[in-house]
């Protein structure tokens, strides 16, 4: 599952997809939100729907859950068509962005709710609640009220509540975006660990590409109601297939054919070239990195701006009429180049993407 | 060295409120409390004994309680359904309906009684229309049923105004999460919706009860002295030409205050059983 495909993400899943979407279409008035979405997802796969706000990713998730009616299309889970089933009978678990815990119930009662609705007897309910809370490391908080918990703890309760009924599919609608960075990082790892442990087919919605890349077996990049590209993190990041994808993924430098020719030192044909900032190399008095196998002749320029992004330093380079971002590893204060410094920019031609 | 206590500036803004509250709420209450125990220049429980032994005053208390309870319960049920409808209605219709509710909640007293006389009085438009259509035989607005209707009418908009924020606070995700966990509509309301609304429902009910028990102008404009209620008895004892007995009126007022306090205590007791409710 490492290939990247431009259109229908049906080819990558195993031969018998567990979740199958066909022609899923939804409009609000005259505005189409989902346009004939086809997708196959394998059992136990962790798929992320990635895209900017309003691209239709949450609507697709809600359509699968049965919370938003579709205008057309079919949804199958394990060979069973669930298109017209109410949410109660879809056997799907969902975690919401703002937890959606029931405020009038304790943590244990929240988690037990799904079992209570399924008329599971009290003894078994208690046992399974204990197991679910232990899974999310909240077994000592069972009697607390949701308002006594932190955001991260609330989301773990929501996860336990969604998992306790052993759903066929787990849907997560931006579950980490209301949390602060440190908790988000910890929860990401915990989430992925639990998903692997339970072999649970999971659809995760986010607009954060770093989150998508860390978590997913496959990423579906969405835009304007379509799946623009899908594939694993590496293929999506290094081999974007359109300008729309380049605009969202990474911090690509884009050049037209004439600009690309100047930078690469040879004639280039095509409409648009994209080059990741880390596929450009800066040579200066302070820095002489090992160049790629095919570095081109280089292009003389000066540093126009510098941004420290933690372990990465992003330089804005003005170079023979071109302007581009170059990322280098932050190796310490002495290796930092200052504004106005003269540099030569080399490009890794093999990493250039023709769009 | 001890520092002198200096109240924060914001506290001074409460001073006018404290003055008004003291002059128009606490002072009269103190005066009424003293008057209730004043008997011919001395002190005693004679007024309360008289109320307890008089079938007339007991009837006034019971009828006030009955009309308050029935109209408040009917009012809160109708208001709850109306709020549910309002929260499911789109922007423009909702705004118009809320504006209408605001207006009607202030339409009380003599104008309301007059409106009801025109509509549902002996020769009221609606009464005649219903009689002509054969839907009612006779309808008497000046009866117990008539009073229940007019009380319920003014309770509903107040109930809507008080309950609407609580209904608006019911989050869509709760319903959605519940449905994905297998809960139908009934299960949702039983286990989540109503328990989450519970503090607001109980609080609103106690305000409606107080509103009904304290109502005077509407009922007096409608039935004068012909229906025996606490507020009418109190008014007669302080403004009547023949039976001026302000101290007995004070005792009846104190009983009214005691009833309202009891309702507030019951409300707080009911809320105590729900430690998680209302906190999101």
The 10s digit of each residue's pLDDT in B200-230 is 999 999 999 999 999 999 999 888 888 899 9
Share of chain B above pLDDT 70, in %: 94
Indicate which of A94, A95, A103, A125 best probes the interface with B, i.e. most B CBs within 10 Å of its own CB.
A103
Indicate which of A68, A90, A103, A104 best probes the interface with B, i.e. most B CBs within 10 Å of its own CB.
A104
Is A227 part of a structural domain of the chain?
A: yes
Mean pLDDT of the residues in chain A: 89
Contact A88 B183 (CB under 8 A): yes
C-beta atoms surrounding A300 within 10 Å: 11
Is A49 part of a structural domain of the chain?
A: yes
Is A262 part of a structural domain of the chain?
A: no
Contact B276 A100 (CB under 8 A): no
Q: Mean pLDDT, to the nearest integer, of B36-62?
A: 92
Q: Do A114 and A228 share a domain, yes or no?
A: yes
Is A35 part of a structural domain of the chain?
A: yes
Nearest CA in chain B to A119: B182
Q: How far A115 CA sits from the closest chain B CA (Å)?
A: 8
> Residue A324's domain is classified under what CATH number?
2.40.50.100
Please give the helix or strand (H or E) that residue A319 lies within, else none. Answer: strand A312-319
**Cβ(A322)–Cβ(A262) under 8 Å?**
yes
Select the residue of A90, A98, A104 nearest B196 (Cβ to Cβ): A104
Residues of B in contact with A162 (CB under 8 A): 180
pTM exceeding the 0.90 threshold for the entire prediction: no
Select the residue of B173, B182, B275 nearest A145 (Cβ to Cβ): B275
Is A2 part of a structural domain of the chain?
A: no
**Cβ(A281)–Cβ(A346) under 8 Å?**
yes
Distance from C-alpha of B205 to C-alpha of A206, rounded to nearest angstrom: 44
Distance from C-alpha of A86 to C-alpha of A71, rounded to nearest angstrom: 15
Q: Is the pLDDT of residue A300 over 80?
A: yes
Residues of B in contact with A165 (CB under 8 A): 181-182
- Degrees, nearest 5: CA angle B138-B139-B141: 155
**Cβ(B218)–Cβ(B49) under 8 Å?**
no
Q: Do A232 and A282 share a domain, yes or no?
A: no
- Return the residue matching tokens 């009955």: B66
Distance from C-alpha of A201 to C-alpha of A163, rounded to nearest angstrom: 12
Q: Is the pLDDT of residue B1 over 60?
A: no
Q: Mean pLDDT, to the nearest integer, of B70-93?
A: 92
Residues of A in contact with B274 (CB under 8 A): 104
The tokens for B53 are: 């032994």
Give residue ranges of B with CB < 8 Å to any A CB.
171, 173-174, 176-184, 187, 191-192, 195-196, 198, 274-280
Is A3 part of a structural domain of the chain?
A: no
Q: Is the torsion defined by CA of A276, A277, A280, A281 positive or negative? A: negative
Q: Could you tell me the residue range of the domain that residue A297 belongs to?
A: 277-350
Residues of A in contact with B280 (CB under 8 A): 103, 146-147
Helices B246-272 and B230-239, packing angle to 10 deg: 150
Chain-centroid distance of CA A170 in Å reads 16
Domains of chain B: 46-272 (1.10.3720.10)
C-beta atoms surrounding A202 within 10 Å: 26
Distance from C-alpha of B32 to C-alpha of B24, rounded to nearest angstrom: 12
Q: Do A33 and A180 share a domain, yes or no?
A: yes
Contact B173 A117 (CB under 8 A): no
A68 lies within 8 A of chain B by CB: no
A102 lies within 8 A of chain B by CB: yes
Q: Do A61 and A202 share a domain, yes or no?
A: yes
Contact A92 B275 (CB under 8 A): no
Distance from C-alpha of A89 to C-alpha of A65, rounded to nearest angstrom: 10
C-beta atoms surrounding B121 within 10 Å: 20
Q: What is the pLDDT of residue B196?
A: 92
Least confident range from A19-33, A73-87, B69-83, B118-132: namely B118-132
Q: Is the pLDDT of residue B277 over 60?
A: no
Q: Do A243 and A181 share a domain, yes or no?
A: yes
A100 lies within 8 A of chain B by CB: yes
Per-residue pLDDT band at A11 (split at 50, 70, 90): very low
Backbone Cα Rg of chain A: 24
Q: How far B41 CA sits from the closest chain A CA (Å)?
A: 56
Is A355 part of a structural domain of the chain?
A: no
- Degrees, nearest 5: CA angle A116-A117-A118: 90
Q: Are strands A19-28 and A31-41 parallel, antiparallel or unpaired?
A: antiparallel
Q: What is the pLDDT of residue A8?
A: 60
Per-residue pLDDT band at B278 (split at 50, 70, 90): very low
Q: Is the torsion defined by CA of A101, A103, A104, A105 positive or negative? A: positive
Q: What is the pLDDT of residue B90?
A: 75
Q: Is the torsion defined by CA of B270, B273, B278, B279 positive or negative? A: positive
Select the residue of B182, B183, B276 nearest A103 (Cβ to Cβ): B276
pLDDT digits (tens, 9 = 90+) for A249-278: 878 898 888 888 888 777 777 778 888 999
Cross-strand partners of A308: A313
Q: Mean pLDDT, to the nearest integer, of A237-243?
A: 87
Indicate which of B177, B183, B198, B202 best probes the interface with A, i.e. most A CBs within 10 Å of its own CB.
B177
Is A194 part of a structural domain of the chain?
A: yes
Q: Do A186 and A329 share a domain, yes or no?
A: no
Per-residue pLDDT band at A37 (split at 50, 70, 90): very high
Helices B246-272 and B46-53, packing angle to 10 deg: 80
Contact A114 B192 (CB under 8 A): no
Nearest CA in chain A to B195: A104
Per-residue pLDDT band at A4 (split at 50, 70, 90): very low
Q: Is the pLDDT of residue A143 over 70?
A: yes
Q: Do A230 and A93 share a domain, yes or no?
A: yes
Domain boundary among A197, A227, A248: A248
Rounded to the nearest 10°, the torsion over CA A67, A73, A78, A79 is 140
Q: Mean pLDDT, to the nearest integer, of B154-175?
A: 93
Q: Do A178 and A289 share a domain, yes or no?
A: no
pLDDT digits (tens, 9 = 90+) for A55-97: 999 999 999 999 999 999 999 999 999 999 999 999 999 999 9
pLDDT digits (tens, 9 = 90+) for B18-35: 999 999 999 999 999 999
Residue A182's nearest CA partner among A151, A161, A204 is A151
Select the residue of B173, B182, B191 nearest A98 (Cβ to Cβ): B173
Residues of A in contact with B173 (CB under 8 A): 96, 98, 100
Q: Do A169 and A294 share a domain, yes or no?
A: no
Which residues have C-beta within 8 Å of that of residue A336, sequence separation ≥ 6? A286, A306, A313, A330
Residue A216's nearest CA partner among A198, A234, A241 is A234
Q: What is the pLDDT of residue B2?
A: 61
Per-residue pLDDT band at B241 (split at 50, 70, 90): low
Q: Do A319 and A235 share a domain, yes or no?
A: no
Cross-strand partners of A176: none
Domain boundary among A248, A269, A292: A248
Q: What is the pLDDT of residue B60?
A: 94
Residue A73 φ/ψ region, left for φ over 0, alpha for ψ in the -120 to 50 degree band, beta for the rest: left
> Residue A90's domain is classified under what CATH number?
3.40.50.300
Q: Which residue has the higher pLDDT, A180 or B240?
A: A180
Nearest CA in chain B to A159: B177
Residue B232's nearest CA partner among B245, B214, B246 is B214
Contact A88 B191 (CB under 8 A): no
Q: Which residue has the higher pLDDT, B159 or A353?
A: B159
- Return the residue matching tokens 């609304």: B197
Q: What is the pLDDT of residue A13?
A: 45
Q: Do A239 and A305 share a domain, yes or no?
A: no
Contact A86 B179 (CB under 8 A): yes
Q: Give the total number of structural domains in chain A.
A: 2
Q: What is the pLDDT of residue A2?
A: 36
User: Interface pTM (ipTM) of the complex?
Assistant: 0.85
Indicate which of B182, B186, B195 best probes the interface with A, i.e. most A CBs within 10 Å of its own CB.
B182
Nearest CA in chain B to A107: B276
Q: Is the pLDDT of residue A352 over 90?
A: no
Q: Do A237 and A287 share a domain, yes or no?
A: no
Contact B276 A98 (CB under 8 A): no
Helices B125-132 and B110-120, packing angle to 10 deg: 20
C-beta atoms surrounding A181 within 10 Å: 8
Residues of B in contact with A88 (CB under 8 A): 179-180, 182-184
Q: What is the pLDDT of residue B142?
A: 87
Q: Mean pLDDT, to the nearest integer, of A38-67?
A: 95
């Amino acid at each position: 599952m490492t290939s990247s495909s431009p259109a229908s993400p049906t080819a990558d899943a195993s031969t018998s997809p567990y979740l199958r979407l066909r022609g899923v279409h939804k409009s609000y008035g005259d505005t189409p939100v989902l346009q004939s979405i086809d997708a196959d997802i394998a059992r136990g796969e962790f798929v992320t729907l990635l895209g900017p706000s309003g691209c239709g990713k949450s609507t697709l998730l809600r359509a699968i859950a049965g919370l938003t009616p579709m205008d057309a299309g079919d949804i199958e889970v394990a060979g069973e068509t669930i298109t017209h089933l109410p949410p109660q009978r879809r056997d799907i678990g969902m975690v919401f962005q703002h937890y959606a815990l029931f405020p009038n119930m304790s943590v244990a009662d929240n988690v037990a709710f799904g079992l209570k609705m399924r008329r599971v007897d009290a003894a078994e309910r208690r046992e399974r609640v204990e197991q679910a809370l232990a899974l999310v490391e909240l077994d000592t908080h069972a009697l607390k009220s949701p308002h006594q918990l932190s955001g991260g703890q609330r989301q773990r309760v929501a996860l336990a509540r969604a998992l306790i009924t052993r759903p066929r599919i787990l849907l997560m609608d931006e579950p980490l975006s209301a949390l602060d960075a440190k908790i988000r990082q910890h929860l990401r790892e915990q989430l992925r660990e639990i998903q692997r442990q339970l072999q649970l087919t999971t659809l995760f919605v986010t607009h954060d590409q770093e989150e998508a890349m860390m978590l997913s077996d496959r990423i579906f990049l969405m835009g304007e109601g379509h799946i623009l590209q899908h594939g694993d993190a590496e293929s999506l990041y290094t081999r974007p297939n359109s300008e729309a994808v380049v605009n969202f993924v990474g911090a690509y430098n884009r050049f037209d054919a004439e600009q690309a020719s100047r930078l690469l030192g040879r004639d280039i044909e095509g409409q648009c070239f994209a080059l990741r900032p880390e596929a450009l190399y800066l040579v200066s008095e302070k820095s002489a990195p090992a160049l790629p196998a095919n570095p081109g002749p280089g292009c003389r320029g000066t540093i126009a701006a510098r941004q420290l992004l933690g372990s990465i330093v992003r330089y804005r380079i003005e170079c023979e009429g071109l302007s581009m971002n170059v990322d280098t590893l932050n190796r310490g204060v002495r290796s930092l180049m200052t504004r106005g410094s003269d540099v030569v920019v080399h490009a890794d031609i093999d990493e250039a993407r023709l769009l | 060295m001890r520092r002198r206590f200096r109240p924060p500036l914001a506290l001074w803004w409460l001073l006018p409120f404290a003055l008004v509250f003291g002059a128009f709420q606490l002072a009269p209450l103190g005066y009424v409390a003293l008057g209730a125990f004043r008997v011919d220049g001395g002190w005693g429980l004679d007024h309360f004994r008289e109320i307890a032994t008089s079938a007339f005053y007991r009837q006034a208390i019971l009828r006030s309680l009955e009309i308050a309870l029935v109209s408040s319960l009917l009012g809160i049920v109708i208001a709850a359904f109306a709020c549910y409808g309002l929260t499911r209605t789109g922007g423009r219709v909702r705004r118009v309906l809320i504006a209408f509710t605001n207006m009607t909640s202030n339409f009380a007293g003599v104008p309301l009684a007059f409106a009801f006389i025109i509509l549902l009085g002996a020769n009221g438009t609606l009464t005649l229309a219903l009689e002509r259509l054969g839907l009612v035989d006779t309808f008497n607005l000046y009866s117990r049923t008539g009073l229940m209707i007019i009380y319920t009418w003014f309770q509903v908009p107040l109930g809507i105004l008080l309950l609407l924020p609580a209904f608006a606070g019911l989050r869509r995700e709760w319903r959605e999460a519940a449905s994905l966990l297998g809960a139908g509509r009934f299960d949702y309301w039983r286990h989540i919706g109503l328990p989450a609304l519970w503090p607001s429902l109980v609080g609103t009910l106690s305000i409606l009860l107080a509103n009904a028990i304290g109502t005077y102008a509407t009922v007096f404009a409608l039935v004068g002295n012909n229906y025996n209620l606490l507020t009418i008895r109190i008014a007669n004892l302080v403004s009547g030409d023949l039976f001026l007995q302000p101290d007995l009126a004070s005792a009846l007022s104190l009983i009214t205050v005691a009833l309202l306090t009891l309702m507030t205590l019951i409300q707080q007791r009911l809320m105590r059983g729900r430690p998680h409710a209302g906190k999101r």
